[in-house]
Structure 1
Amino acid sequence: MPIPPHNRRASGAAAALGAAGLIVLAAAPAAFGDGTAPELVVGGIEPIHGLKPGSTFDLPVTVANKSSGTAEKVWVSYSVTRGLDFADVPSNCRVQHIGSYDEMLENWTAMCAFDQAVEPGVVYTPEKPLRVKALDRAYNDRLRVDVGRGIAPMEDENGDPPVAGTAPAVKLVEEQAGGEGSAERVDVSVTSVSTADYQVTGAALRGRVGDTVTMKVKFANAGPAWVLEEEGERVVQVMITPPAGTSVVKRGQFCQAKGKTYRCGAHVGLNMTEDARTVYIFKLKIDKRIAGAKGSIALSTEPRPFDHNKANDKADITLDVTDGGATTGSTGGSTSGSNGSTGGSTSGSNGSTGGSTSGSNGSTGGSTDGSAGSTGGSSSTGDDGTTTNGGNLAETGSSTLPITGAAAAAVVTGAGTLVIVRRRRARNLS
C-alpha cells in the first residue's frame, strides 16, 4: 500500500536498515535466570532475484519459540528500502514511511501484531503471507524481518504517522514443514531487472581574454531505477577538465584538482535516487585565445552494469573567445525557479550568468524533476542560489574537498570554515 512520502557509514546499507531509523523491537523483561523466557526466531526468508518492476511477491515467514516458555503476544516487523512497497496489508499491521535522514536509507516498515500464544518447539507462519511490490524504480533493494514479543515496536519519530492496513487481519498458524529459523532478525537482498542512466551535460562558454566566466556542468541519474551501491564498491565520480587557455578562479563544490582535471563526487552515501542531480559551478578566467579550445565532463570508468547508455557519459565544454565586450559563460541549458525565467540576464550574488536563470537570489543552475511517487528527490532553493536534491550534492560554487559516502569533510569558504557534522537524532520510546 503506497504511503505518501513526508546513507551510509557505520556498517553500510545493512546498518542503515537496522539502526534507529527503522523499527527496533522492544523486548519484554526476561525471567530471572530460570531459562523460561521465550526466545523467538524467524526463518523462511531467502534472497529474491530477477523481479520485474511492477510485479509482486509473497514473504513466506516462519516464527518459532526456541525456549521452554510460552510467548503470549508476538510482533513481526518487515522493512524494505525505497524500491519496494507493501500491498494488501492486513488490518493487524501498521505501515510507516521513513524518509532518508542522517545515515538512514529511506524505507517502509510494516509492524504486524499477533495477539496469540506461541508455544515452545512449534513453528508458525502467518496464514496469509505479506505481499511486497517492486516499484518502477526498483533495482537493488534490501528486506529485513524482525520478530519480538511483549510490548509494541517503537515507531521512528522521523517518519510519517503509521497507517493501519485495510485487508482482513491474519493470525499465526502451525507450519507443518517449515524450518524454525535461527535468528530474531534476517536481512536479504531483493533485485529487479532494470536500468539507471547516469549522464552528464557540458557547457558552452563565451568571453574575451581577461574575462572571468561561470561554467556550469551537470551530472544526473535519469532513472528509471534508483541505485543502492554495495558497501566497499567504488562509487561513480565526475571528471571535469576546463578548456585550454583558462585558469580556475573558483572550483566547484566536492571537486579536487588532479593535474588539469578535477575529480568531483557525484553524491553522498550509498543512495543514488532515480532523480538525483548535481550541478558543478566553476569560475574560469580566460587567459589567452586558443583556437578550438575545448574541455570535457565525463564519468569515471568503474563498471556500471545497470547503465546501458554510454553515449551520454561524456560531454564537451566549449570556449568561444570573442574580440568584443565582456560576456559571460553559458551552462548550455536553461534553469528555472518559482519566479520564472529571466532569459539570459545575470542574477544572484554569486555572479553566475548565461542561460535562463531565475529564483529570488541567485541561479539554481538546474531544476529537479522527481518522478511520480518518488521521494528523496525534491529540491529547495536557498538565498545563496544553491540547490540540494534529495540528499545528494548541493549546487554551489564553493571551493571544498570532495565528500564521499565513506567520510564527512570540512567545507572551506572564504575566511570561514563550516564543519559538517553527521549525528543521529534522538528517538522517543513509544
Structure 2
Amino acid sequence: MPMPPHHRRASRAAVAALGAAGLIALAAAPAAFADDTAPELTVGGVKPISGVKPGSTFDVSATVANKGTGAAEKVWVTYAVTRGLDFAEVPSNCWTQRVRPYDEMPERLTAVCGFDQAVEPGVAYTTDRPFRVTALDRAFHDELRLRVGADEPGPDDNGSEPVTGTAPALKLVERQAGGEGTKQVVDVPVTSVNTADYQVTGAALKGRLGDTVPMKVEFHNAGPAWIMPRLGDQPVSVVITPPAGTSVVKTASFCRAQGQAYHCGMRAPALNEDGQETYTFQLKIDKRVAHANGSVALSTEARPFDPDKTNDRADITLDVTGGGSTGSTGGSSEGSSSGSTGGSGGSAGGSTGGLGGSTGGSIGGGSGSIGGSSSTGGSLAATGSSALPVTGVAVAAVVTGAGTLIVVRRRRGQHLN
C-alpha cells in the first residue's frame, strides 16, 4: 500500500516569530540567507532483491554520497523494512523502532544509524560491512526503504520505544564513485519464494418462514505468507450469493450489491498470515425454495502465490422449518441496493497492519479496505515519517468493495521530510 510523502512543517512558534519585519528583512537581503555550502546527501547502490527464501538472510550495502558543495559533519542512514523482514543484527550506533501501521502505510521496522564522521563533497561512501536483513517465514512481497540525511530523524510517535543496538558499530568508508544514486529516499522491492492460501467459509442457515436470520461467512489467509498488494495488483474480493427465497435486510460491511450477489472488499489486516475478514448479513426468509443453496467464493483474478483452489468456494445452505408452500427456484430478492461502508479499525498487532504487526487499516493505526472493484497499491509510499520515511497516524477505511472512500487522518508530530 502506498505510503504518501510527508514534509516537515514549521512549528507554530517559528511561524509566529517570523513577522512582517522579518519578511521585509528577508526580501531586502535574500543573498544574506543563501547557503552556498550546504551538503546534498544521496543514497543508493541497492538493486531489487528477489529469490529470497524464508529463514535466510541477505546483505544490504548502501552507498552514500554528497553532491553538494559543503561537507556534512554527521549523517544518518535509515533502514526500514516491511513486516516480512527483520534485522539479523543491530549495530551499536543504530537504534530500532517498530512502528504500527497507519494511514496507507503498513507496519514497519526501522533502524536509524548515526555516523559521526564528515561526508565530503564529491566523495562516495559505503559501510565497512553490509547491513544484514532476515526474511521471516511470512515473507513474500516486501520492501526495504533507505534514507539519508544530515539531521537525525526522531522516533515515530506511533511506534515502540527505541532500542539501541549491541553489535559492533558500523563505519563509513570511501569507495569508488558510481552507483550512489541521486535521491534522499529510495525504495527497494524484496521478493521471497513463498505461498499463501486464501480460503472462504460458508454457512448453514435455519429458520421459519418470515424469520430474519444472521448469515456469517468468512475470508481467511491461512498463510504462511502475508500479502502486501503492490501497485497494479488486482485485489481479491469475496463474492457472496444469498440463498434463493431470502431477502437481505442488512448488508455486511465492505459489501455492495451487484445483481443477485454481493461483492465484498476487506481491511488490509485480513491479508496478513492468519488474517481474516468476517461478513455478517441479516436475511429474511420469504419463501421456501427447494435446494436453495447460496455460495461464497473468491473473485477470479490470477493468484499464482495461492496454488490450492479447493477452498476458494463454499456453500451457504438454508433449512426452512415449519409449513408453507414451495416456491420456484428463482434468485434471492434484493435487499439493500448498496452495501454498508462501515467497519471497525484493526488493532496494532497480530493480524492488522502493514509493515509489520498488523494494525488496522491500510494498512495501520486505522483500517482500510481492499478488494471489490478497486485496486490497492502495494509498496511503502514515497517519503515518510521518522522511521520509514513514512507518515503520520490515521484511520483509513477504503471500502473498495462498496466503491466508497472514507479517510480520517490524525497527523503525527514526527516527519522525515
Measured against the shorter chain, the TM-score band is 0.7 to 0.9
Tell me how far apart the structure 1 counterparts of residues 148 and 80 of structure 2 sit (CA, whole Å): 12
Q: Which structure shows the higher helix fraction?
A: 2
Do the aligned residues in 2 keep the contact of 1:376 with 1:390 (CA within 8 Å)? no
Q: CA deviation at 1:43?
A: 2.0
Residue identity over aligned pairs, in percent, reads 59
For 1:292 and 1:107, the matched residues in 2 are separated by 49
Q: For the structure 1 residues 369 and 126, does the alpha-carbon distance in structure 2 shift closer, same or farther, using more than 3 Å as the test? A: closer
User: Which residue matches 2:240?
Assistant: 240
Q: List, as ranges, runs of 4+ consecutive aligned residues in structure 1 with deviation greater than 3 Å.
A: 18-21, 30-34, 176-180, 368-371, 388-393, 401-410
Give the whole-Å Cα distance in 2 for the aligned partners of 1:389 and 1:155: 16
Contact between 2:103 and 2:366, CA under 8 Å: does it hold in 1? no
Q: Once the two structures are superposed, what CA deviation does each residue of 1:288-341 show, in whole Å capped at 9, x if it has no partner?
A: 21221100000111111111111111000011112289xxxxxxxxxxxxxxxx
Q: Match of 1:308?
A: 307
Residue 357 of structure 2 corresponds to residue 375 of structure 1: yes
Match of 1:351 in 2: none
Which residue matches 1:164? 164
What letter is aligned with 1:291?
A: A
Which residue number corresponds to residue 192 of structure 2?
Answer: 192
Map 1:154-303 → 2, pairs under 5 A: 154-176=154-176, 178-268=178-268, 272-303=271-302
Distance 2:115 2:103 in 1: 32
AA partner of residue 78 (structure 2) = S
- 1:130 equivalent in alignment to 2:112: no
User: In structure 2, what residue type is equivalent to 1:305?
Assistant: P
CA distance 1:20–1:129, shift in 2 (3 Å): farther
1:117 aligns with 2:118: yes
Change in 2 beyond 3 A, CA 1:280/1:403 = farther
CA drift at 1:392: 6.2
SS of 1:312's partner is: coil
Deviations 1:70-120 (A, max 9, x none): 211111111111111111110000111101122221111111000011122
Tell me if the contact between 1:277 and 1:392 (Cα under 8 Å) persists in the aligned partners. Answer: no
* Larger mean Cα displacement after TM superposition, 258-267 or 172-181: 172-181
Determine the C-alpha separation between the residues in 2 that align with 1:105 and 1:429: 16
**Helix, strand or coil: the match of 2:230?**
coil
Contact 2:244 2:289 in 1 (8 A): yes
User: Counterparts of 1:377 and 1:121 in 2: how far apart (Å)?
Assistant: 43
1:346: which partner in 2?
none
Partner of 1:46: 47
String of CA shifts for 1:199-234, please: whole Å, max 9, x gaps: 100001112222221111111111111111122433
TM, length-normalised to structure 2: 0.74
Q: Which TM-score applies when normalising by structure 1?
A: 0.72
Task: Report the alpha carbon displacement of residue 244 of structure 1 after superposing the two structures with TM.
Answer: 1.0
| CA pair 214-404 structure 1, distance change in 2 beyond 3 A | farther
Structure 1 residues 425 and 250: CA distance shift in structure 2, 3 A: same
In 1, distance between residues paired with 2:56 and 2:255? 40
> Partners in 2 of 1:377 and 1:47 — Cα distance?
27
User: 1:25-77: per-residue Cα shift (whole Å, max 9, x none)?
Assistant: xxxxx994353211111121110001001111111111112223221111111
Q: Deviations over 1:111-144 (max 9, x none)?
A: 1000011122221111011111111111001111
User: Which residue of structure 1 aligns with residue 36 of structure 2?
Assistant: 35
Mapped to 2, the partners of 1:409 and 1:92 lie a distance apart of 39
Is residue 319 of structure 2 the alignment partner of residue 320 of structure 1? yes
Are the equivalent residues in 1 in contact too, given 2:230–2:376 (CA < 8 A)? no
Counterparts of 1:273-422 in structure 2, within 5 Å, are: 273-323=272-322, 375-376=357-358, 391=367, 408=397, 421-422=407-408
Query: Matched residue of 1:266: which SS?
Result: strand
Q: Which residue of 1 aligns with 2:105?
A: 104
C-alpha spacing 1:78/1:31, structure 2 compared with 1 (3 Å): farther
Letter in 2 for 1:166: T
Q: Distance in 1 between matches of 2:398 and 2:71?
A: 51
- Pair 1:389–1:240, CA change in 2 (3 A): farther
**RMSD value, Cα:** 3.5
- Which sections of structure 1, spanning at least 5 residues, go unmatched? 1-7, 22-29, 326-367, 379-387, 394-400, 411-418
Matched residue type, 1:426: R
Instruction: Give deviations 1:331-389, integer Å, cap 9, x for gaps.
Output: xxxxxxxxxxxxxxxxxxxxxxxxxxxxxxxxxxxxx9869xx72169xxxxxxxxx99
Q: Per the alignment, do residues 377 and 164 of structure 1 end up closer, same or farther by CA in structure 2, a change over 3 Å counting?
A: same
Alpha carbons 1:254, 1:403 under 8 Å: kept: no
Using a 3 Å threshold, how does the CA distance of structure 1 residues 148 and 191 change in structure 2: closer, same or farther? same
Residues in 2 aligned to 1:251 and 1:37: alpha-carbon distance in whole angstroms: 59
- SS state at 2:98 partner: strand
Is the CA contact (8 Å cut-off) linking 2:45 and 2:61 kept in structure 1? yes
1:322 and 1:282 mapped to 2: Cα distance?
Answer: 20
Counterpart for residue 96 of structure 2: 95
Residue 389 to residue 99, structure 1, CA distance change in 2 (3 Å): closer
Compared CA separation, residues 253 and 68, structure 1 to 2 (3 A): closer
Residue aligning to 1:85: 86
C-alpha distance in 2, partners of 1:34/1:370?
Answer: 48
Contact 1:253–1:402 under 8 Å retained in 2: no
Deviation at 1:391, TM superposition (A): 3.9
2: CA distance, partners of 1:277 / 1:427: 32
